[in-house]
Amino acid sequence: MHAYHSPERSAFHLKPVKYAGSNRQKLTDYVVQIATNSLLPVDVIVKELVQWPARNASLDATRRPFASGQHLALANAHGETARYWVDRLNDLTGRTDLEALTLLPFASVLRDPFGLVGRARRWCPVCLQDDLLADADFYERLIWSIRLVEWCPIHDVPLTSVCPNCQYRHCAEACRRSISGCCAHCHQWLGMELFRYRRFLGRGSRNCERERWIASEFASMLDLPDASLHKISQENLVLMLESGIDRLAGGNAKRFASICDKSASSVSEWRGGIVIPSIQTVFDMCEKFRIHLADWLCAHSNAWPDGLARRKHAVDYAPRRTAYLERDWLSIEKKLRTMANSDGCRLSWKQTAKMLDIDPSQLHAKFPEFARKISAKARELRARGSADRSEARRTMLLRHLKQIVRRMITSGINPTRRRVEAELTKLGVEYRWADYPLIAQARHEVDRAA
């Protein structure tokens, strides 16, 4: 067994092949590039210098990044692993811009419950061949790691993970002896001319318009300039959603949810900033209303269509008598302005209209700006109250857990999840599966206090 030692140096002074635009290099390929230029195996760079992953180094599993079950592609994503790798590699290379080789710039607005990056290594053979023919540095792109991207937006061909020479399928993002653009099994070149690749595919035409569109939308997202990246935030996404509700449904969130084929509760959570829509949901809405992903992320409210046709009632509609009553609109406007500017206003728009004895739709049509402000304040108060209740419950539950864990440890009993849950049931404390991480936190705090 050889012992590899990196010579003393201030940094690996290596510039990424491309760190901007849709053709930017991915971080894992940059690590492969460092290993190649330093004449070190990739696994040495990963294990000894980057120290995959960012967890307890005493556990054996954390020292085996290329073992079955490890997800090396997470280094290209937007979570803790990517953040850790970027910080470590910035220190090693003396750079500050390696975040651009991951999806971290979009972390606040991208959510995918199935994982934003795939486990397999994929590539476009034509892109690699173009690099070779142009006598340029060949490298692997970040967009190839995105799970939903199955098509090359440049050459209009599907991405592949199968070597054309030995038919080896690359199920992992990187291996111990990875080389950019070469097969991990036979080490042959993976590039191919366009006509040869299409002949190699040997498949009939299929309906792939959505795959093409998704690939082009992700490419446009990665092409966003730095000035536009500063506009990307969860708050701007909420503003984008609000403008869609106003423009398409006249401020009616339930109708907007019906138009989007989504549940009203989901729309409510998006508006309250509790969660952000998943990337699949965003694509569904972008496709339905013909909005570009970049416009959605940058909150360009004028990207929404002008409006949809009003629904026709199946039966004759008799308007409420209140619509024809003469009212003192100046006095009503004064009351609404006071409520909109007051920090103590807790009424929803429906409750406000009921207090004034006016139909909510009629009042909204008359004062849309006040409707937006009062509704937003009510949502903010509800969200704040919900967050306070959740935090109070979490504090109470953690206190009970620490008492139970401390008592079990003192008695020589291993505080497993089921035993702790049984003790909570005896105390009459409600316990959900989402609370399971609190057991580990309670155990950690008890051990630290001891």
Domain ranges of the chain: 10-223, 229-303, 329-377, 390-449
Q: Over 80: is that where the pLDDT of 85 sits?
A: yes
User: Residue ranges of the alpha helices (H) in 411-449?
Assistant: 417-427, 437-449
Beta bridge partners of residue 28, listed in sequence order:
none
> How many CB atoms neighbour CB 71 within 10 A?
16
What's the mean pLDDT in 388-416?
89
Fold of 229-303: 434 Repressor (Amino-terminal Domain) (1.10.260)
The larger pLDDT score, comparing residue 101 to residue 348, is at: 101
Which pLDDT score is estimated for 53? 56
Instruction: Please say whether the beta carbons of 339 and 381 come within 8 A.
Output: no
- Reported in sequence order, the residue ranges of 336-407 that DSSP labels E, i.e. its strands, are none
Q: Please give the Cα distance from 401 to 407 (Å, whole number).
A: 10
Which pLDDT score is estimated for 124? 94
Which pLDDT score is estimated for 41? 84
List the one residue out of 62, 46, 66, 64 whose CA is nearest residue 54: 62
H helix or E strand, kind and range, residue 220: helix 209-222
Q: For 240-280, write each residue's pLDDT tens digit.
A: 998 998 888 888 889 999 998 888 888 888 888 888 888 99
| Token duo for residue 36 | 């190649």
H helix or E strand, kind and range, residue 65: none
Q: Over 70: is that where the pLDDT of 313 sits?
A: no
| Token duo for residue 318 | 């008799």
Reported confidence tier of residue 307, pLDDT bands at 50, 70, 90: low
| Token duo for residue 92 | 């090693």
H helix or E strand, kind and range, residue 337: helix 329-341
pTM: 0.65
| Token duo for residue 299 | 């909150």
The larger pLDDT score, comparing residue 346 to residue 294, is at: 294
| Token duo for residue 388 | 């306070």
Instruction: Please say whether the beta carbons of 247 and 306 come within 8 A.
Output: yes
Q: Please give the Cα distance from 140 to 127 (Å, whole number).
A: 9
**Position 59: which residue type?**
L
What's the mean pLDDT in 393-411?
89
List of long-range contacts for 78-81, beta carbons under 8 Å, 24+ apart: 78/102, 78/103, 78/104, 78/106, 78/107, 78/110, 78/116, 79/107, 80/54, 81/53, 81/54
Letter string b/e over residues 398-433, b meaning 16 or more CB atoms within 10 A of that residue's CB:
bebbbebbbebeeeeeebeeeebeebbeeeebebee
List the one residue out of 138, 121, 117 whose CA is nearest residue 25: 138
Phi, psi torsion values for 212, nearest 5 degrees: -60, -45
Q: Please give the Cα distance from 72 to 46 (Å, whole number).
A: 10
**Position 416: which residue type?**
T
For residue 224, CA distances in Å to 294, 415, 450 come to 7, 50, 51
Q: For 27-78, write each residue's pLDDT tens digit.
A: 999 999 988 888 888 888 887 777 665 454 444 444 566 655 577 888 899 8
What's the mean pLDDT in 194-217?
81
Instruction: Please say whether the beta carbons of 121 and 115 come within 8 A.
Output: no
For residue 181, CA distances in Å to 71, 188, 395 come to 20, 9, 52
Least confident of 60-64, 251-255, 304-308, 311-315: 311-315
Torsion of CA 315, 321, 327, 333, to 10 degrees: -40
Which pLDDT score is estimated for 161? 92
Which pLDDT score is estimated for 159? 93
Q: What is the DSSP string of 121-183?
A: --B-HHHHHHHHHTT-----BGGGGBTT--B-TTT--B-B-B-TTT--B--SS--TT--TTB-
Q: Please give the Cα distance from 296 to 217 (Å, whole number).
A: 11
Which pLDDT score is estimated for 322? 46
H helix or E strand, kind and range, residue 388: helix 368-410
DSSP conformational letter for 93: H
